[in-house]
């Protein structure tokens, strides 16, 4: 399977899957299957697993493979993008082979953890992985990493026959998408927006879709904005984006910014409330969350997520 044509007509909607855990810290495959079914009911058939939202840096190899295999079993016709980042290019290459064997269609790699590279070194790093990966490679730009993917670097990587997409989580730069699209014109590289509030601006600039964490709790909003844009209904697309913007605001709350565990809790708690996942546990051995924080999440979502649009599980 390639990324040259979406599994369904129109822009790509890829959800960056959370990883459900049991109370004793094991990957909760039953909850993961329910999450996939929940997203499929919301119009999702592309899944990014073992990414930052999926707690990839905290997972061991067996956990990664369990997640990929479970999602492949739950969505046999879906497209699976699997994070393969590790401590270096050799680790990422090993992960790409293992991910392909477990059922992944596309490997996704970030710039190296901890160490900073210059841009020629980043190109060499990604090229080595792309040359050895048994499946197409997507690169993942995130401001949290030591080395950003500069626009000229993306343009050069776009000419590699096995590099097919960029997930771009740039914080809020609305111009970056257009700059990359101009720089990669004539190549098959797909531009996927990773910032929820920039989904509609990305479509307007000619981008190819989004990879979004909040799709876990509101897939209908992202499906709505993409479908409305594809149908030429700009006003309806803008209304969906307005709702996405309101929901995205929870990421700006100081309570959410205090730790990665608190960020994850903003999405796991609503899913637990709906019966999609069994617990809000994460990969960290212990993460105490105050009742006041949970109340903030409940109140915020009640205010900013239209309950008539919220999907229910059976």
**What is the C-alpha separation between 213 and 56, in angstroms, rounded?**
14
Alpha carbon 286 to its chain centroid, in Å, reads: 24
Tell me which of 38, 81, 140, 240 is the catalytic residue: 140
- To the query of whether residue 167 is one of the catalytic residues in this protein, the response is yes
- 140 given a catalytic annotation: yes
The tokens describing 254, both together, are 């100081």
Residues, the chain:
314
Q: How many angstroms separate the CA atoms of 122 and 106, rounded?
A: 20
User: What CA–CA distances, in Å, run from 164 to 185, 239, 294?
Assistant: 13, 31, 39
Residue of 38, 81, 167, 240 with catalytic role: 167
The CA–CA distances, whole Å, from 7 to 56, 79, 80, 187, 218 equal 25, 8, 11, 20, 20
C-alpha 237/C-alpha 228 separation (Å) is 5
Which residues are part of the catalytic machinery?
A: 140, 167
């Amino acid at each position: 399977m390639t990324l040259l044509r979406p599994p369904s007509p129109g822009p790509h909607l890829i959800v960056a899957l959370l990883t459900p855990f049991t109370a004793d810290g094991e990957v909760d495959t039953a909850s993961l299957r329910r999450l996939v079914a929940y997203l499929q009911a919301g119009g999702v058939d592309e899944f990014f697993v073992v990414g930052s939202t999926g707690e990839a840096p905290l997972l061991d190899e067996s956990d990664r493979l369990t997640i990929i295999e479970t999602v492949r079993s739950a969505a046999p016709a879906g497209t699976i993008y699997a994070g393969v980042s590790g401590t270096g290019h050799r680790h990422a290459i090993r992960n790409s082979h293992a991910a392909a064997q477990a059922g992944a269609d596309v490997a996704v790699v970030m710039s190296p953890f901890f160490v900073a590279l210059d841009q020629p070194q980043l190109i060499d790093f990604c090229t080595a992985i792309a040359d050895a990966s048994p499946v197409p490679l997507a690169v993942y730009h995130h401001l949290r990493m030591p080395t950003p993917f500069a626009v000229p670097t993306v343009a050069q990587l776009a000419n590699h026959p096995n590099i097919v997409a960029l997930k771009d989580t740039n914080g809020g730069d609305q111009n970056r998408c257009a700059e990359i699209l101009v720089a990669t014109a004539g190549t098959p590289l797909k531009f996927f927006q990773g910032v929820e509030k920039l989904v509609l601006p990305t479509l307007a600039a000619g981008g190819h879709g989004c990879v979004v964490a909040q799709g876990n709790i509101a897939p209908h909003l992202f499906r709505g904005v993409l479908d409305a844009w594809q149908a030429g209904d700009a006003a309806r697309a803008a209304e969906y984006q307005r709702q996405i913007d309101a929901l995205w605001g929870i990421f700006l709350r100081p309570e959410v910014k205090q730790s990665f565990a608190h960020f994850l809790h903003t999405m796991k708690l609503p899913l637990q409330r709906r019966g999609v996942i069994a617990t809000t546990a994460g990969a960290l051995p212990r993460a105490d969350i105050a009742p006041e924080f949970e109340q903030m999440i409940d109140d915020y979502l009640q205010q900013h997520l239209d309950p008539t649009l919220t999907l229910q599980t059976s």
